[in-house]
Amino acid sequence: MKRNDNLTMLMDFYELTMAKGYFENGMKDIITYFDMFFRKIPDGGGFAIMAGVQQLVEYLKKLSFDEEDIEFLRSKKIFGEDFLEYLKNFRFSSDVWVVPEGTPIFPGEPIVTVRGPAIEAQLIETMVLLTINHQSLIATKSNRIVRAAQGRPVMEFGSRRAQGYDGAIYGARAAYIGGCVGTACTLSERDYGIPATGTMAHSWVQMFPTELDAFRAYARTYPNSCSLLVDTYNVLKSGIPNAIRVFDEELKPNGYRPKSIRIDSGDMTYLSRKARKMLDDAGYPDCKIIASNALDEYIIRDILMQGAQIDIFGVGERLITSRSEPVFGGVYKLVGVEKDGEIIPKIKLSENVEKITLPGFKQVWRLFDNESGKAMADVITLHDEVIESGKPYELFDPEYTWKRKTIDNFTARPLLQKVFDGGKCIFKERPINEIRDFCAKSTDELWSEVCRFENPHKYYVDLSEKLWSVRKTLLDKH
């Protein structure tokens, strides 16, 4: 399969048919506003995690049609030469705002906003959604699994089960943002600085005459970082006894200590408790126990509640594919157009109430209680509204408008940040470790009730009075 760095043609074909229509109907220079938002949190959780911004920025910076693209489109026989010439000279010139990576996000909020000519804003729809949807899905799943581990390190082990190689590479990046400490994907360390870790597979053990021979050879090769996979044959009868013998005969006499053993099958609670006692009795209380094999947040939570003695988790397919809910339902909708310098809000109606869009050019504010430091609510406003920290502000439920509350001891932070200005990239790339730390800090700013896996408390996302009035006017009109 041919690949290059220019992903301009990775788009739904209707983006091009609409672009031609805008071009031929004199609409290509109309300034439009599009929002990306999502409607439902994966796994019934209380929040999602924003991720994928860096890859979206890289895509937009390289946005252009090369000669091969133009020739392919010419071969479709439906695009005129004037339109193809326009595409040949196409350069991105829009404004883009995003919620920073690692930020907890909630349904209905704009997490990407694009302001630009109609053709530009339309052409990028697919990649905006593809990039943010995928990484936000995996970052959200990773964050759940990491929280279930209660401070124990979680490593991402899913490359071989990912949905394609991009799913493995970018999935590892998203998992690290969500809180994983490392990945099995070597390329993700080379390209993104995510620590790659790994020791051996069962095939290593099978390659030697005996399990003991295999362990002995590995210990001699890696005496300072010896980690042994103990479930190729029998964890308690051969795996751990052989590991202990190698620790005694190969490592300890030469001044080394074992790093860990890994269990990849069986009842993790039972086996880890037995293994812990065997290792402790042998004088290796510092030897960590790693568990892998089809784990997720629920299994991890349950085995820890049952007393499992596991120090580190390796999580593969259920993380890298978000197997329990493998779709992050972000959408990209037109919310406004400019006419004579005025923003005309646009709304999409539906028989399904949850599909009605929020019109207009907007900002999202997160309000923090000054006493606890916890996030109280988000408020979506029109772009030119400002919520002043500490000044009395009335929150109200946009659906049940009689539910109102005035707050004053709070700090307000705008979430959407500009990353492109007239097509010029002004995005400041952050180190991946900084994004990961920011995600952990931001998650900790949520009340624990919002972080529950089952029946989480619904975090309040309210509208300003002005935005609510704009929406109501359009609803009444249509």
Q: Is the pLDDT of residue 220 over 90?
A: yes
Q: What is the mean pLDDT of the chain?
A: 96
Number of H helices, E strands in the chain: 16, 21
pLDDT at residue number 352 = 85
pLDDT at residue number 6 = 84
| pLDDT-derived band at 3, boundaries 50, 70, 90 | very low
Q: How many CA atoms lie less than 13 Å away from 474 in the CB half-sphere?
A: 18
Determine the average pLDDT of the residues in 28-48: 97
| pLDDT-derived band at 392, boundaries 50, 70, 90 | very high
pLDDT at residue number 268 = 98
Cβ partners under 8 Å of residue 334, min gap 6: 32, 33, 34, 346, 348
Give 386's DSSP letter. -
pLDDT digits (tens, 9 = 90+) for 399-447: 899 999 999 999 999 999 999 999 999 999 999 999 999 999 999 999 9
Rounded Cα distance between 399 and 416, Å, is: 24
pLDDT at residue number 2 = 40
Residue 413 burial (CB count, 10 A): 12
What is the identity of the amino acid at 412? Answer: A
Residues, the chain: 478
Determine the average pLDDT of the residues in 261-277: 98
| pLDDT-derived band at 254, boundaries 50, 70, 90 | very high
Rounded Cα distance between 196 and 187, Å, is: 8
Determine the average pLDDT of the residues in 242-249: 98
| Percent of the residues in the chain that have a pLDDT greater than 90, as a whole number | 96
Domains of the chain: 13-138+330-477 (3.20.140.10), 149-320 (3.20.20.70)
Q: Is the dihedral of CA 369, 370, 372, 375 positive or negative?
A: positive
Look up tokens 């991009």; give the residue. Answer: 166
pLDDT at residue number 354 = 83
pLDDT digits (tens, 9 = 90+) for 226-245: 999 999 999 999 999 999 99
| Percent of the residues in the chain that have a pLDDT greater than 70, as a whole number | 99
pLDDT digits (tens, 9 = 90+) for 340-352: 999 999 999 988 8
